[in-house]
Chain A
Amino acid sequence: MSGHDSKYFTTTKKGEIHELKEELNSQYKDKKKDAVKKVIAAMTVGKDVSMLFTDVVNCMQTENLELKKLVYLYLINYAKSQPDLAILAVNTFVKDSQDPNPLIRALAVRTMGCIRVDKITEYLCDPLQRCLKDDDPYVRKTAAICVAKLHDINAELVEDRGFLEILKDLISDSNPMVVANAVAALAEIQEGTTKIIFEITNHTLFKLLAALNECTEWGQVFILDALSRYKAKDVRDAENIVERVTPRLQHANCAVVLSAVKVILQQMELITSTDVVRNLCKKMAPPLVTLISAEPEIQYVALRNINLIVFFCKYNDPIYVKMEKLEIMIKLASDRNIDQVLLEFKEYATEVDVDFVRKAVRAIGRCAIKLERAAERCISVLLELIKLKVNYVVQEAIVVIKDIFRRYPNTYESIIATLCENLDNLDEPEAKASMIWIIGEYAERIDNADELLEGFLETFPEETAQVQLQLLTATVKLFLKKPTEGPQQMIQVVLNNATQETDNPDLRDRAYIYWRLLSTDPEAAKDVVLAEKPTINDDSNMLEPSLLDELLSNIATLASVYHKPPDSFVSRVRATVQRDDDEEYAAESLDPESSSAPVSEITTSVAAPGGVPGQPAAVPDILGDLMGLDGSADQQPMTRSLPVLLSASAGQGLQISGKLVRRNGQVVYSLMFENSSQIPLDGFMIQFNKNTFGLAAAAPLQVPPLVPGRSESVVLPMVMYQNVAPGPPNSLLQVAVKNNQQPVWYFNDKISIEALFGEDGKMERQHFLETWKTIPDSHEFIKELPSVCVNSVESAIQKLQATNLFFIARRSQKESRQELLYLSAKVPPNIVFLVELATVVGTAGVKCAVKTVSPEMAPLLFDALEALLST
C-alpha cells in the first residue's frame, strides 16, 4: 500500500509560488488536488506558503474528502497568520458541519476547534451546539473534545453558551466513546479552574463504570483517571468501585493497568477489611510484574512507578532501565536477600558502562549504610573490587568506603592499608578528598600518615577546592593527633598556602579559623576538629509522605515519572492567560518566576547607569546606592517587556518589539525579533525616516538568521542629528525593516526623550538659578500629572537621575506638606531643560513646571516625566 507522495516534495525553485497559484485555480480537479498536495508538502518542510491562503481556501468547497482534509490542515497551520482571510473559510465550515456525511461533520468541528482565531471561534458555537446533539456518535465524540478546545480559547463563551451542561449530559450518553471523551474534556476544563465543574456523583459514577467495560482502551484510561479523583462516600461505595475496576488489571494495555492500580489504591484507603485489602494487593502485584516485560520505554515508566518487585538487570537492558532497577534493588535489599543482591551489584560493577559501574559501586555502599549487619559483607565486596585495580572502580569504592567509615566509626579500620596501596591512582577530586579524609580521621592508626599527606601537599595549589579543604582539615587533624615536628611543618605550609595563595574564600576562612584555634587554645581545637560526627543514614531515596501521597494519585502520569508534584513542572498557562492566542507570549510567560516577579527584581546583565563610574553620587549612604541601583534597573528595558512595534499577525509571523534606550552614554535601539512564521528569515536591514532629532543607525543591523520559532535581541547603536526632519518637533520615529524573505515592513515608534538626555546635563545650583532667571516666563510650561503618585522622594530622585535628569535641590513646604524638586537635563547639543516638580508624598498628583529655550520640546519632556515617575 505504498504511496508515491515524495514527488510532491520536488518542486521547481523559481516562480514556484506563482505556478502553484495557477494550478490551484485550475479547473481540473486532479491538477487542483496535486497543487494542494504540493502546498502541504512545502508546508511540511517548513516553507512559508501562507501567501497562497486565498487560493487554497477556494479549493475548500469540494466533494473530495481527501482534498478537503488537506485544505483543513492548511487552515490549521496558517489561519493564525492570516486571521482576516480565515474568515473566508467560515461559511464552508458551517456548511460542512451540516453535511450528510458524519465524517465531514466531525472533520469540520474538529478543525474549527483547532483554529485559534477569535473570529472563527464565534462562528464555531452554533455548529458545535448542533454536533453535540448529533445522531452519529462519531460526531458527538469529536464535538465533546471540541468543547475543551473552545474552553482553552475562550472559557467564558463555553460557559455562556451552556456547553458545560451539554457536556455533563454526554456522560450519560448511550455510546461509550462519547462518554470517555466527555470525561476527558471535563477533566481538562476542571484542571484549569478552581470552580467545581466536574464532580462525579452517584449517578455519573454508575454511568462511568458501565462505559468502562465498553469503550476503547484510551477511553478506559480517561475514565479511570477521572475515577481516581472520586472520593467514595463509604466503604461499600469504595468496594463497589474496586470490584468494577479490578478486571481492568487484566487488560493488555499497560496504561489501563496502571490507571486501574491508581484507582484501586485510592479507594483502598477507605476499605477497612484487611482481607479485602490483602486480596487486592495480591491481585495488583502480578500485573505490575508483567509490565517489566513490556516495551523498554513502558518498563521505564512502570519502574518509576512501582517499587514492589525483586528482579535483576538483563545484559541488554537499555541503560535507563538498568539505572532504575538498581535504585529499586537498593530499596528492596534486606538482610534476607543481601547476599544475592550484592552478588548482582558486583557483577554490574565489572560491566563496561562507566556510569552504571559507578552507580553499582555506590549502591553497594548504600546497602552497607542501610543494613548494619550486611556492612561487613559489603566491605569485603568493595575490597574485592578494589583489587581489580580498575581506576574508576577503585575511586568510586573509596568514596563509598568513606561513607561507611562515617556510619560505623572504628569498625572497619583494618582495611585502610589496602586503601592506601591505591593512593597513586587517584585522580578524581571526590575520591582524593575521600581518601584524604580517611587518612586524617585515622591519622593515629596509619603509621606513615604524614608521609601520605605530604605527598598530596606537593600539589596543593593545583587541587580543586574540595580536595584543598579536605587536605587542610586532615593536616590539622594529623597535627592534633601527632603533635610532632613533621606535622607542625606541614601545617605551616598548608596554612600559608590556604591563607595567602588562594582566592577561594571558603578555604581561606577555614584556614584562618584553624590558625586562630591552634594558636590560642589547641585543646579547644581538638574539641572542635575531632568532635564526634553525627552518623549518616541512607536517606537518599526517601520521599516525603505527603509527596508520596500526591504521587500515588498521579500514578502513570509524568509526575510519578519525575517523582515531583505536577505543579513543579507543568507549565501550561492557565486558561485565562491562554486566551491571548499569541504563541510567543504563551511561551514566555511559562517561567512562573519571571512572569510574576516585580519588574525591578529582574536584573539585566547590562551595567546599570547608576553604577557607571564618574557619576556623582547624589546620596552618599549605601542604602541610597542600593536603591539607586534598583531604580536604575527599572530603567533598563528588559528584552521581554519591550513594546511590540510590528505584531506577528501584521508581519507574516515576524514580530518586532523595541525601544530607544540609553546605554553607557549612548543612544541605542534595543530590538527583539521573533520569527513565528514557517520559514527561516535572514538578511535583516533597518532604515529610519527623517525625524526631529535626526536619529539614525550608527552601524548596520546585525541580526543572525532566524529559524522559525526563534527570537533574537539586538542592540543597535544610534547617532543623532544625521537626518533631521524640518518642521515642528515631534516624537515620531518611522522605521523600515526588511529581510530577504519578506516584503519591507514599516512601523512607527515614539522617541522617548529620556533616552537622549546627556550625561553632562548636571548644573551647579548657582548656574541653575541664573539660567532659570534668564529664560523668560513665556517659556515656562506647566502640566499637572494627576495620576502620578510619588511615594518616596529619594527613590524618585534616583529614578530620574538614572536617566540623566539631574537633581539640583529640594525644598519642603511645611504647611502644604509639599515637596519641591529641582532638576536639570540636557539633550545634546544644547537643549537645556530646567524642571520643577511639586508633589505631596504619598498622594497622587504631581505638578511639573519646565523652563526651556526650545518650547516645542516641552510636551515630550512631560511625557517622559510621566512615564518615569509612574513606573
Chain B
Amino acid sequence: MAGAASALFLLDMKGRVLVWRDYRGDVSAAQAERFFAKIQEGESDSSSQDPVVFDDGVTYLFVQHNNVYVMTASRQNCNAASLLLFLHRVIDVFKHYFEELEEESLRDNFVVVYELLDEMMDFGYPQFTEANILSEFIKTDAYKIEITQRPPMAVTNAVSWRSEGIRYKKNEVFLDVVESVNILVNSNGQLVRSDVVGALKMRTYLTGMPECKLGLNDRVLLEAQGRSTKGKAIDLDDIKFHQCVRLARFENDRTISFIPPDGAFDLMTYRLSTQVVRPLIWVEAQVERHSRSRVEYAVKARSQFKERSTATNVEIELPLPADATTPNVRTSMGSSVYAPEKEALVWKIKSFPGGKEYMLRAQFGLPSIVSEESVPEKRAPIRVKFEIPYFTVSGIQVRYLKIIEKSGYQALPWVRYITTAGEYELRMIQY
C-alpha cells in the first residue's frame, strides 16, 4: 500500500525535460522519453490518453498545464489519487511563485524550482504544499537576503497553513458565497442532470492567530439547537472543508470553527442536487433547414427566477454547422457575434431580469456543395453563461461570522452572494 513516486518531471510540449528531480534513484531521465513516446502513440487512440500511463513496469501520472507536462514516474502501487492531486498542488505552488506555470517561467526560475521540488516531496512522498508558508523560507530573490532562515513553525505545526506574527492595520474578512449551477437537458427537453456546487470563498486579512466561527442556516444545526427552522433552513448534501476546519468538531456538533490561512482560500464547498428546481435560464432553439443552402434558427431564452433578481453578463452559445456563412441575425435584446472559431453564434445580454423572455432569429447560408459521405454533424449543445448577484439557488445564508483573537480587535466581515452558470448545457432538439 505504501507507494511513492520515483521522480517528478517537468516536460515541455515536445517531451523534453525542463527540470526533473529524481527522488528514489530507480528511474532515469530516459523515462521521460518513454513516457512521451507512449502518449504520442496514444494520440490517435483516444483510450490511451488516460492520465495514468503504464509502460514497462513504470507508471506515469501526468497533468498538463499550459505548455508544460507535470509528470511523476513510479514503480510502485502508489496512491494515484494522492499523487495526481499533488501534481495539481505543485502547479498551484508554481503559479503562486511565478504567476504562471509555463516553460519560460520554469527556465527563469530553475533554482527555485529545484528548491521547491526538494521541499514539496521527499523520497517520493508528498510533504508540504502550502504556497504561503513555503514562500516564507524559499524566496525567489533569496540572494538578496543573506540571513539564514529557519523553517517556519507552520511546516510541522498542527496549523500548517498559517504562520504566526501576521499583522494588518485594518482587519477584514471577505466571504463570497458562490454557487455554480450545472445542468444538462437532453434533446427531449428532459432535465437529466442538475446540481449546484457551492463554495464559500474567503479572503482574510487578519492579525495574529484568529479563531473563527461560522454560522449557516444549516437545518441539522438549527434543529439540534431547537430553533424554529421555518422555511429558512437548508439541507446541504455534501460538505467539504478546507483543511483548516476542525472536522471532528463539525462531526460532533456541526460547528464550523477554524483558524484561517492568510489570504484567499476556499473555506467550504457543498453540493445539492436540485432535481425539482427549474433551470434558471431556459433556452429553446428551433432549426429550420430551407433547401440545402440556408438554415434558420429561432431561439427563445426565458429567465425562470424571481423578478427582483437580474442575471448579468448572459452569454448564450448557439452551435452552428461548421460551414455556415453570411450570418443575418436579429435579436429582441442584446447583441450577437458570429464566432466561427467556436462554430457558434454568441448571443450576449448584459442584463436579463427575472420572468422575461427574449428572442433571437438568425439565418445562415450553407455551401451548396455537400460531401458525399454523410458524416454526422458535431452535435454540440447550447451553452449558457450567466451570473446572478445577490441570489443563491440553495438559499444558503451566513448567519454570523465571529472572529476572536487574543488581542481583541474588531474585524469586519463582508459577505456577498452570487450564482453563476457552471456546466450549463442544453442539447439541441434533433432535426
Chain A contact residues, CB within 8 Å of chain B? 1-6, 8-9, 33, 37, 40-41, 44, 46, 63-66, 69-70, 73, 76-77, 80, 101-104, 106, 110, 113-114, 116, 136-138, 141-142, 145-146, 148-149, 152, 175-178, 181, 184, 187-188, 190-191, 213-218, 221-222, 225-226, 228-229, 244, 246-248, 250-255, 257-259, 286-287, 289-290, 293, 295-298, 300-302, 305, 311-312, 314-316, 318-320, 323, 340, 343-344, 347, 350-353, 355-356, 388-391, 553-554, 556-562, 566, 569-573, 578, 581, 583, 586-587, 590-591, 676, 678, 707-710
Q: Is the CB of B51 within 8 A of A253?
A: no
What's the nearest-Cβ distance from chain B to residue A713, in Å? 16
Q: Which of B127, B129, B242, B423 has the most CB of A within 10 A?
A: B127
Q: Is the CB of A3 within 8 A of B374?
A: no
B3 within 8 A of A: yes
Whose C-beta in chain B lies nearest to the C-beta of A7? B108
Q: List chain B residues, Cβ under 8 A from A356.
A: 46
Q: Is the CB of A177 within 8 A of B25?
A: no
Q: List chain B residues, Cβ under 8 A from A578.
A: 26
Given pairs A225-B2, A252-B269, 8 additional interface contacts (CB within 8 A): A5-B111, A6-B107, A101-B149, A137-B156, A188-B4, A554-B77, A571-B57, A590-B57
How distant is the Cα of A352 from the Cα of B187 in the complex, in angstroms?
17
Task: Name B228-279 residues within 8 Å CB distance of A.
Answer: 237-243, 246-248, 250-251, 266, 269, 271
6 A-B residue pairs with CB within 8 Å: A77-B22, A145-B125, A218-B129, A252-B241, A353-B46, A709-B29
Q: Is the CB of B2 within 8 A of A246?
A: no
Q: Is the CB of B271 within 8 A of A110?
A: no
Q: Is the CB of A5 within 8 A of B88?
A: no
How distant is the Cα of A255 from the Cα of B240 in the complex, in angstroms?
13
Q: Is the interface of A mostly helix, strand, loop or mixed?
A: helix
- B28 is contacted by which of A152, A300, A708 (Cβ under 8 Å)? A708
Q: List chain B residues, Cβ under 8 A from A254.
A: 81, 85
What's the nearest-Cβ distance from chain B to residue A385, in Å? 10
What's the nearest-Cβ distance from chain A to residue B274, in Å? 14
What's the nearest-Cβ distance from chain A to residue B75, in Å? 4
Q: Is the CB of B81 within 8 A of A556?
A: yes
Q: Which of A63, A73, A561 has the most CB of B within 10 A?
A: A561
Q: List chain B residues, Cβ under 8 A from A244.
A: 248
Q: List chain B residues, Cβ under 8 A from A69.
A: 114-115, 118
Q: List chain B residues, Cβ under 8 A from A298.
A: 81, 84-85, 88
Q: How many A-B residue pairs have CB under 8 A?
A: 347
Q: Is the CB of A319 within 8 A of B49?
A: yes
How distant is the Cα of A840 from the Cα of B2 in the complex, in angstroms?
53
Question: Top 5 nearest A-B pairs by Cβ distance?
Answer: A709-B30, A571-B57, A286-B238, A187-B2, A247-B247
Whose C-beta in chain A lies nearest to the C-beta of B64? A297
Q: Is the CB of B19 within 8 A of A44?
A: yes
Q: List chain A residues, Cβ under 8 A from B82.
A: 218, 221, 255, 259, 556
- A566 is contacted by which of B45, B46, B51, B77 (Cβ under 8 Å)? B77
Q: Is the CB of B140 within 8 A of A320?
A: no
Q: List chain A residues, Cβ under 8 A from B99.
A: 1-2
Q: List chain A residues, Cβ under 8 A from B50.
A: 300, 320
B305 within 8 A of A: no
- B378 is contacted by which of A63, A101, A184, A352 (Cβ under 8 Å)? A352
How distant is the Cα of A102 from the Cα of B182 in the complex, in angstroms?
49
B329 within 8 A of A: no
How distant is the Cα of A188 from the Cα of B76 in the complex, in angstroms?
10
Q: Is the interface of B mostly helix, strand, loop or mixed?
A: mixed
Q: List chain B residues, Cβ under 8 A from A289.
A: 238, 271
What's the nearest-Cβ distance from chain A to residue B102, in Å? 11
What's the nearest-Cβ distance from chain A to residue B126, in Å? 4
Q: Is the CB of B109 within 8 A of A5?
A: yes
B303 within 8 A of A: no
Whose C-beta in chain B lies nearest to the C-beta of A314? B423
Q: List chain B residues, Cβ under 8 A from A226.
A: 1-2
- A583 is contacted by which of B25, B47, B250, B423 (Cβ under 8 Å)? B25
What's the nearest-Cβ distance from chain B to residue A3, in Å? 4
B287 within 8 A of A: no
Q: List chain B residues, Cβ under 8 A from A63.
A: 146, 148
What's the nearest-Cβ distance from chain A to residue B67, in Å? 15
B341 within 8 A of A: no
Given contacts A69-B115, A218-B125, contact A344 B192 (CB under 8 A): yes
Given contacts A250-B247, A344-B192, A569-B57, contact A191 B123 (CB under 8 A): no
Q: Is the CB of A570 within 8 A of B75?
A: yes
Whose C-beta in chain A lies nearest to the C-beta of B380? A315
Count of B residues near A, CB < 8 Å? 116
Given contacts A229-B1, A302-B81, A709-B28, contact A246 B243 (CB under 8 A): no
Given contacts A70-B111, A286-B238, contact A570 B77 (CB under 8 A): yes
Q: List chain B residues, Cβ under 8 A from A80.
A: 25
What's the nearest-Cβ distance from chain B to residue A670, in Å? 23
How distant is the Cα of A525 from the Cα of B66 in the complex, in angstroms?
65
Whose C-beta in chain A lies nearest to the C-beta of B188? A343
Q: List chain B residues, Cβ under 8 A from A190.
A: 2
Q: Is the CB of B110 within 8 A of A213?
A: no
Given contacts A4-B108, A319-B49, A347-B187, contact A301 B381 (CB under 8 A): no
How distant is the Cα of A260 from the Cα of B149 in the complex, in angstroms?
36
B122 within 8 A of A: yes
Q: List chain A residues, Cβ under 8 A from B3.
A: 191, 557-558, 570
B54 within 8 A of A: yes
B174 within 8 A of A: no
Q: Is the CB of A355 within 8 A of B150?
A: no
How distant is the Cα of A587 from the Cα of B34 in the complex, in angstroms?
14
Task: Name B323-341 residues within 8 Å CB distance of A.
Answer: none
Whose C-beta in chain A lies nearest to the C-beta of B58? A571
Q: Is the CB of B57 within 8 A of A344?
A: no
Q: Is the CB of A323 within 8 A of B1?
A: no
B59-88 vs A, Cβ < 8 Å mask (1 yes, 0 no): 101010000000000111111111011111
- A572 is contacted by which of B76, B80, B123, B188 (Cβ under 8 Å)? B76
Q: Is the CB of A221 within 8 A of B47?
A: no
B35 within 8 A of A: no
Q: List chain B residues, Cβ under 8 A from A319.
A: 46-47, 49
Q: Is the CB of B425 within 8 A of A315?
A: yes
- A251 is contacted by which of B45, B59, B88, B247 (Cβ under 8 Å)? B247
Task: Name B2-24 residues within 8 Å CB distance of A.
Answer: 2-4, 17-19, 22-24
- A286 is contacted by which of B58, B184, B237 (Cβ under 8 Å)? B237
How distant is the Cα of A218 from the Cα of B2 in the complex, in angstroms?
13
What's the nearest-Cβ distance from chain A to residue B291, in Å? 21
B131-151 vs A, Cβ < 8 Å mask (1 yes, 0 no): 000000100111100101111
Whose C-beta in chain B lies nearest to the C-beta of A390? B376
B415 within 8 A of A: no
Task: Name B141-169 residues within 8 Å CB distance of A.
Answer: 141-143, 146, 148-151, 155-156, 158, 160
Q: List chain A residues, Cβ under 8 A from B416.
A: none
B104 within 8 A of A: yes
Q: Is the CB of A295 within 8 A of B88?
A: yes
Whose C-beta in chain B lies nearest to the C-beta of A343? B186
What's the nearest-Cβ distance from chain A to residue B230, in Å? 26
Q: List chain B residues, Cβ under 8 A from A257.
A: 240
What's the nearest-Cβ distance from chain A to residue B228, in Å? 26
Given contacts A356-B46, A571-B57, contact A66 B17 (CB under 8 A): no
Q: List chain B residues, Cβ under 8 A from A571.
A: 56-58, 75
Q: Is the CB of B148 within 8 A of A101?
A: yes
Whose C-beta in chain A lies nearest to the C-beta of B236? A286
Given contacts A102-B150, A293-B197, A301-B80, contact A66 B56 (CB under 8 A): no
Q: Is the CB of A250 within 8 A of B241?
A: yes
How distant is the Cα of A181 from the Cα of B54 in the complex, in angstroms?
27
Q: Is the CB of A65 within 8 A of B110?
A: no
Q: List chain A residues, Cβ under 8 A from B18.
A: 44
- B250 is contacted by which of A187, A250, A351 (Cβ under 8 Å)? A250
B52 within 8 A of A: yes
What's the nearest-Cβ distance from chain A to residue B31, in Å? 8
